[in-house]
Amino acid sequence: MMSRIQKGMIAGFAATAVVAILEVGKFYLTQSTGALAEVRIFPLILAAMVGMQGSYLVGWAIHFVSGTLILGPAFGILCPRMPTDTPATKGILFAVGAFILMSLTVAPMAGIGMFAMAAGFSTLIWLIFTHIVFGIAMGSIYGTLVQREKRHAREMAGAQPAH
């Protein structure tokens, strides 16, 4: 039996991977120019925040650690207490909250201003979009893990003893 935190970590990791795929796709599909062109290189922003300019590896590590070890467990704890009905909508609600918190703390520390407005409106829209995708993925995966565990518990309740 997995705890809510463990389910959250699994869901957070998977949702972070989904967002990473979107970020890589955006990297190859966009043609940013100008002073804020580096904004399209997401892991480099995270790496620069911890003094490791130019390190993709550090940036991706921060991204996965945040999604897996911070956001995932937090969602696992908060999910049952959230006011919406489905796991996906709970994930969206959680992700919007994470977006607001990130926009007021991490974005200014990264030098792109509150709500990333120094990077432009398209960056704000992209951040909202990726957070919503993250929330849908995390909520759906978490909900699937919960349902699978409930189904397994029901099956075990009807099992015959071994002796």
Per cent of the chain over pLDDT 90 is: 52
Residue 95 lies in a domain: yes
Residue 34 lies in a domain: yes
Residue 158 lies in a domain: no
Q: Give the count of domains, the chain.
A: 1
Residue 143 lies in a domain: yes
Q: 73-131, pLDDT tens digit by residue? A: 999 999 999 999 999 999 999 999 999 999 999 888 878 889 888 877 888 888 899 99
pTM: 0.85
* Residue 56: per-residue pLDDT: 85
CA max distance for the chain: 73
The whole domain housing 32 covers: 4-149
Residue 93 lies in a domain: yes
Is 162:39 a contact under the CB 8 Å cutoff? no
Residue 43, class by beta-carbon neighbours within 10 Å (0-12 exposed, 13-18 middle, 19+ buried)?
A: buried
Residue 133 lies in a domain: yes
Q: 29-81, pLDDT tens digit by residue? A: 765 544 444 445 678 778 888 888 888 899 899 999 999 999 999 999 999 99
